[in-house]
């Protein structure tokens, strides 16, 4: 079975948790796109839900699929968010932000009662860090922010190269919020909660891709079928 089919299987399993009348957070990325498409099929057959998209890309997908949308200005609480991840560890800590939507993704996840993470089994790791950690930053004072990030990495026992993400045009990638992303190639993050706390207090850091304590369950699709992991 190809990777795309596995992602769709995970999305279909998460859809089983959706009930009529729910307010949903709609994630960003290739796996979350499958969820939005499958959700649209249910809406067309009568399911009543409303969604808050985590990116402009997801907003466009939801509109295309006929999923009714709202914002966190109109409602301040969501029943469930379904989103993908770049890495998932056994405590259901995540690295997210490979698609550049980490800020909105975290805002939406934090406003939700539950967050189901959907992924193929390749995203499951024993220790986070193989995937570069995205850190969304303000361009102003970038050198000072990078220096503070390096100190945070050292204090948490991590180190690695920091690279400003490039867009397809060869210039710095710009997020939906108008910020830049630094991808930190750390290899291994031994204490993800500590690093998350250290990064969060750096003034030039808008948000980071460590999602600590937000995922409540993970739906992993692999060659042997679907595995559901609940947060311990």
* Positions marked active-site: 105
Q: Which of 102, 46, 50, 42 minimizes the C-alpha distance to 72?
A: 50
Own/partner long-range contacts of 144-149 (Cβ < 8 Å, ≥24 apart) = 144/204, 145/202, 145/203, 145/204, 145/205, 146/182, 148/202, 148/203, 148/204, 148/205, 149/182, 149/184, 149/199, 149/202, 149/205
Instruction: Give the tokens for residue 58.
Output: 């997801």
Instruction: Give the tokens for residue 101.
Output: 């939507």
Burial class (CB in 10 A: 0-12, 13-18, 19+), 48: exposed
Q: How far apart are CA 226 and CA 120, in angstroms?
A: 9
């Amino acid at each position: 079975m190809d990777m795309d089919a596995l992602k769709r299987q995970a999305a279909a399993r998460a859809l089983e948790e959706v009930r009529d009348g729910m307010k949903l957070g709609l994630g960003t990325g290739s796996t979350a796109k499958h969820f939005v498409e499958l959700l649209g099929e249910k809406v067309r057959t009568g399911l009543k839900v409303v969604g808050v998209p985590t990116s402009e890309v997801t907003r466009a997908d939801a509109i295309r699929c006929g999923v009714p949308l709202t914002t966190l200005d109109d409602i301040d609480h969501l029943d469930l968010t379904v989103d993908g991840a770049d890495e998932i560890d056994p405590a259901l800590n995540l690295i997210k932000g490979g698609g550049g939507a980490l800020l909105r993704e975290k805002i939406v996840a934090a406003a939700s009662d539950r967050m189901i993470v959907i992924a193929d089994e390749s995203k499951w790791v024993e220790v986070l860090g193989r995937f570069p950690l995205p850190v969304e930053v303000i361009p102003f004072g970038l050198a000072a922010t990078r220096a503070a990030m390096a100190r945070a990495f050292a204090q948490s026992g991590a180190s690695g190269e920091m690279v400003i993400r490039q867009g397809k045009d060869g210039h710095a990638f710009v997020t939906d919020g108008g910020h830049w992303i630094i991808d930190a190639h750390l290899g291994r993050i031994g204490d993800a909660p500590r690093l998350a706390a250290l990064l969060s207090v750096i003034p030039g850091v808008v948000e980071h891709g460590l999602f600590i304590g937000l995922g409540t369950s993970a739906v992993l699709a692999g060659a042997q079928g679907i595995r559901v992991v609940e947060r311990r």
